[in-house]
Structure 1
Amino acid sequence: MIVQTKPKGSNAERSRYRNRQAVLGQVREAGAIGRAEIARALSLTTQTVSNIIAELCHDGMLLEKGRRSVGRGLPAMQYALNPKGGYALGIEVRPDAIFAALLDMQGNAVATERVALRGNRPDAVMDHVSHLQTQMLDQEPVARNRMLGAGVVMPGPFGVTGITGMGSDLTGWQEIDAEALFAERLGLPVVLSNDANAAAMAERINGVAQGIASFAYLYFGAGLGLGLVHDGQLVRGAYGNAGEIGHIPIPGLGGKLEDALSRLSVQSHLRRAGKEARDIDMLDRLFQQRDPDLMAWLETATTALGHAMAIVENIFDPQAVVLGGAMPDAILDHLVTRTPLTDLSVSNRPHAPHPRLIRGASGRMTATLGAAALILNRALGAPGSNVH
């Protein structure tokens, strides 16, 4: 689910807000750009763009980067994002830990923190979140008065559904207004999303899905999630629970998809063999050693991923499927190269511009950084969008 604060006020005020977003989006895409170029790209008058740029420079969000000669006349002043002009907080709540990241305007992580959880009920989580926010603002004091908002990601499903009570659930959150709770505690506008959606948008903004308008993102969190992006927008479903693919039964595997294809799955498999793999570093070491128990799990996992691909491709017709999340790169690469892809798929087409299955971003902080990226994406906007 995505819940976000919408600009309020008159139509003129909303138009001004969107135009600011669009100008920032153009600057972000170009790196450095002049007023006339922005005006042409957005079909706005040069005077309107000049006024917006003056405001953004006054607010500290843009910097002058010197003049560049463009044809005849006075060389045009170039403008770029001020990295310290705004900050986004990303919070990821997992069943056993909270991850936090503070990103500057250019998407650089200036502070990251992690805390282990003994319990994940709302009161315990909120106490940790407040402490993490204080820690990171202490590391980057200039951010205190320049916060753009907070992105919060949590594993789905949201609300009481027929698939609650699973190992990847958070305790006591099903009937909580999480967006309001986080907004009150953090004192910031909040975007609430599941972890797969946040990771998908991070790939769309800064990852392998740049330039891919419609794609699916299979995300390794504790379980297995699916983020769907169509025409650059997330597909959320009626209650924010679109993409709960991990709970789909898979014939022949004796259970649901994430029983064979998730971090909980591989950890349980290895534990039954008397081995521990508490984090992705330990999983990576086992893979480099070609541990026989891990390789046996991967054999089943590739079969399960093949089933998942057939479902995703034939239902959603994506340009590509991206695989990423809290797994080592080597394991993701193994899954990408070894997974059997059925010929009976709408994605099996000649001269396709993208591979059917692509390895995306990986690591512990994938969804955390994605959460903060949701805030930056909202503040900076897509180039050329929301112009009035």
Structure 2
Amino acid sequence: MSASHRQIPGVNAERTRSHNRQMVLGSVRAAGAIGRAEIARASGLSTQAVSNIIADMLADGMLREHGRRTGGRGLPVQQYAINPSGGYGLGIEIRPNAVFSALIDLTGTTKHSHRTELTNNEPKTVLAEVAEHKFRALQDTGVRETSVLGAGVVMPGPFGATGIQNSGSDLPGWQDIDPQGLLEGALHLPVFVENDANASAMAERISGVAQGLETFAFLYFGQGLGLGLLQGGRLVSGAFGNAGEIGHIPVIAQGVPVALESCVSRLSVQAHLSAHGIDARDMDDLSRLYAQSAPPLLEWLDTAVQPFSAAIGIIENLFDPQVVILGGAMPDAVLDHLIDAVRLPDRSVSNRADRRQPRLMRGTSGRMTATLGAAALVLNQAFTPMIAASR
């Protein structure tokens, strides 16, 4: 079960303290540099409470003094900013054929990344590989284990035994086990488990094009096609962590109802190219083919427009996002082509005159999107209050 959809217990003193720290840290991150009184106004906390929290976080190393701001009456005001080395998030992405990892600091800057091939994706093999990735990240950066706030781990859904298993984009053998417990045992860290689309959405919020956005959708191209949703800065995971399995919804393609990811996904483009005798194993192959205007790839793009346009309309009308973002393991040029070719529906709640963002845009995190998103899950826990604020 993913961390984001656990039941939140009643508020007690320790949870209130944690919540207030999240409020202060989130205010500092949003502002870049900010004084105590401004934090108090932004968070609804008293100035004395803010002062106590800042003192604690200065001692912890999560905040640093950032000079004084002059202007107006009175003495210059002390400013505070995030200390990049005050904490780290470890991100692990488990794919059917590989493990990726990234270590990011509190500002979202990548300090280390690594990739290894998997000989098999049985839990025992994967857990050993994950532990090795953590060891390598700490060894290569010199970061102390006590400075790592936790590990975000992403893997393709669905989670649990469902009616859409064995689609070619899931992780066989993991449906009937507790991945969080096993991963915490291997990593000796708090672990947040999410699907790759949700984690990718979080990466865009922490360090990508969705910075400053609270409610948006992220259409993730992995092997299949997933959808990450953020509402008010928090992930929408569903009852069992499987919200956003949009690749399995039926759409019309060339007059026939089909599953969306059968015509709009990495799996579908690779299958189409394979039928024309072209082996496209990775993003570099797809980039090369697009640069060459390879007819089979352009043909696939043409056939993808209708179902892709329908999917955007479904996302907009169901979730009313500020924007729909495309990203993941698909070349930028291919995603830009889809954005240019899409027929955005007029009958959509997103078709409005007062928009501040385009309805559709490309993300910036590239092929490491889900891995960085896994690490961003950890930072989001530090920056985003998980209980309602008391005003």
Change (3 A) 1:348 1:74: closer
Change (3 A) 1:346 1:82: closer
CA contact (8 A) 1:223 1:263 kept: yes
CA contact (8 A) 1:22 1:385 kept: no
**How many residues are aligned here?**
388
Unaligned segments of structure 1, at least 5 residues: none
Cα displacement (A) at 1:253 = 4.6
Cα displacement (A) at 1:198 = 1.0
Q: Within 5 A, what are the aligned runs for 1:258-277? A: 258-277=261-280
Q: Between the two proteins, what is the percent identity of the paired residues?
A: 58
CA contact (8 A) 1:220 1:325 kept: yes
Question: Is 1:306 aligned to residue 322 of structure 2?
Answer: no
Inter-partner Cα distance in structure 2 for 1:384 and 1:30: 21
| Partner residue in 2 for 1:40 | 41
CA contact (8 A) 1:7 1:17 kept: no
Cα displacement (A) at 1:67 = 2.2
Inter-partner Cα distance in structure 2 for 1:199 and 1:364: 10
| Partner residue in 2 for 1:57 | 58
1:369 aligned counterpart, secondary structure:
helix
Inter-partner Cα distance in structure 2 for 1:314 and 1:64: 45
Cα displacement (A) at 1:35 = 1.6
1:266 aligned counterpart, secondary structure:
helix
Q: 1:364 aligns with which of 362, 367, 371?
A: 367
Change (3 A) 1:44 1:312: closer
Change (3 A) 1:9 1:84: farther
Q: Within 5 A, what are the aligned runs for 1:64-143? A: 64-143=65-144
Cα displacement (A) at 1:386 = 4.3
Inter-partner Cα distance in structure 2 for 1:248 and 1:383: 31
Which residue identity does 2:27 align to in structure 1? Q
Cα displacement (A) at 1:342 = 2.6
1:93 aligned counterpart, secondary structure:
strand
Q: What TM-score comes out, normalization by structure 2 length?
A: 0.93
Change (3 A) 1:362 1:145: closer
2:3 aligned counterpart, secondary structure:
coil
Inter-partner Cα distance in structure 2 for 1:81 and 1:264: 41
Instruction: Tell me whether 219-228 or 61-70 shows the greater mean CA deviation.
Output: 61-70
Inter-partner Cα distance in structure 2 for 1:240 and 1:198: 12
| Partner residue in 1 for 2:24 | 23
Root mean square deviation of aligned Cα: 2.3
Cα displacement (A) at 1:94 = 1.1
Cα displacement (A) at 1:201 = 2.0
CA contact (8 A) 2:19 2:385 kept: no
Inter-partner Cα distance in structure 1 for 2:350 and 2:84: 40
| Partner residue in 2 for 1:2 | 2
Which residue identity does 2:122 align to in structure 1? R
Question: Is 1:321 aligned to residue 324 of structure 2?
Answer: yes
Unaligned segments of structure 2, at least 5 residues: none
Cα displacement (A) at 1:178 = 0.8
Inter-partner Cα distance in structure 2 for 1:301 and 1:49: 52
CA contact (8 A) 2:250 2:260 kept: yes
Provide Cα deviations, 1:284-333, integer angstroms capped at 9, x if missing partner.
Answer: 11111111111111111222201212222233333322111111111111
Cα displacement (A) at 1:9 = 10
Q: What TM-score comes out, normalization by structure 1 length?
A: 0.93
2:363 aligned counterpart, secondary structure:
strand
Which residue identity does 1:45 align to in structure 2? S
Inter-partner Cα distance in structure 2 for 1:7 and 1:350: 38
| Partner residue in 1 for 2:217 | 216
Cα displacement (A) at 1:102 = 0.2
Change (3 A) 1:275 1:233: same
